[in-house]
Amino acid sequence: MRRVLRGLLPAAGAIRLLLARGIALAAVSAVVFKVIQGAFVGDCGHGACGPTPGLLDAPGLASATAGGSATVIGVIAAAAALFWLIDQLLMAAALQTLDPRRTTKVAVWRGIRTGLTRHLLPMMRISLLGLVLVGLWTAAVMKGTEWMGPMMAREGWVATDRALQPVLRAALLSGGFAAVGAFTFWCKVLTVTDKRRRVRRTVFHAIRLAWRRPISGVLTSAVLAWMATLSTLPLTTLARPWVADTTATVAWAVALVGLFVIWYWRIHAAALVYGDEALKDLHGRSDAPFGLWGWVKGRWRRLRGLNPA
């Protein structure tokens, strides 16, 4: 855990990383807020305009855009996808810059360029794997708890007791999502730090690491991800904090700073944990393909040789 706590300390390149992420977030947010404000319908000329709806205020967006909410939501989705891509590049740059095993430090912009040319595609495949796992887990939880509704109705449970089903579903889904998020995060960490290209090998490598470092690796990453999610709520529910009261403005600023600190802390801690000499036997493991496809082709050719047409 000492390495996790050391992840809070500033390292060389930390300011540039945070500055780059701040610029990216500010640029994307400015575009989104401009679109929302452009679609906002109100009697602004008479000073009767209400506050611009927040990004998560779906009813407010629907009423404010007067039938054009689909366009606004589309722009928000596109902006979120763009920021996600930028964030993947910044994560790759941060892992290269903060890696304690490197004898020569990597500049932030060079790390971004390397992330674009080498690491982005494997990281996207890992994210796709995460989406598949989330979908499978969601379907399993919903199907596995489906029997509770008819059973409660049949046995005459009161309404307050029937809340057990949605609470249980929420708990199982939250835990599963956190586990999948931590798993995909560490797969990306291994992809960048070990310069890996094949997700199949990286998945098993991440499982080995989780077995060796269950608390400082998996659990800490999941907790920091939840903290980051909670810190985004003020950012997404309040579009213009500077026209709100002082409390809202302070909450927005604190949430923004907290989001950036947690992002840096999570990545720096992961780099320090994986850079531990006790895990040296895991560093640089084989990234060669399993050869399954070659084995299948070889067996097929052998069968064709034994049974010629």
pLDDT tens digits, 135-172: 999 999 888 877 776 776 677 666 666 677 788 888 88
More confidently predicted of 301 and 44? 301
More confidently predicted of 202 and 301? 202
Distance CA 52, CA 33 (A): 9
Distance CA 261, CA 264 (A): 5
Residue 131 confidence (pLDDT): 93
- Residue 90: name the closest of 264, 247, 238, 248 by CA: 264
Residues 186 and 270 sit within 8 Å (Cβ to Cβ)? yes
Distance CA 25, CA 249 (A): 18
More confidently predicted of 94 and 201? 94
C-alpha distances out from residue 298 to 180, 200, 289, 292, 293, Å: 36, 21, 16, 10, 9
Residue 21 confidence (pLDDT): 85
Question: What pTM does this model have?
Answer: 0.77
Type of residue at 20:
A
pLDDT at 223 over 90: no
Distance CA 112, CA 106 (A): 10
Distance CA 172, CA 142 (A): 10
Residue 1 confidence (pLDDT): 73
Q: How confident is the model at residue 245 (pLDDT cuts 50, 70, 90)?
A: low
Helical H runs in the chain?
2-6, 14-39, 58-64, 69-98, 108-114, 120-144, 148-155, 159-162, 164-193, 199-212, 220-231, 233-237, 246-274, 292-306
Residue 282 confidence (pLDDT): 78
Which stretch of 23-32, 143-152, 235-244 has the lowest confidence by average pLDDT? Answer: 235-244
The mean pLDDT of 56-81, rounded to a whole number, is 61
The mean pLDDT of 30-53, rounded to a whole number, is 56
The mean pLDDT of 243-272, rounded to a whole number, is 79
Cα dihedral across residues 225, 89, 234, 249: positive or negative: positive
pLDDT at 128 over 90: yes
- Torsion (CA) 206, 211, 277, 2 in degrees, nearest 10: 110
Distance CA 164, CA 265 (A): 36
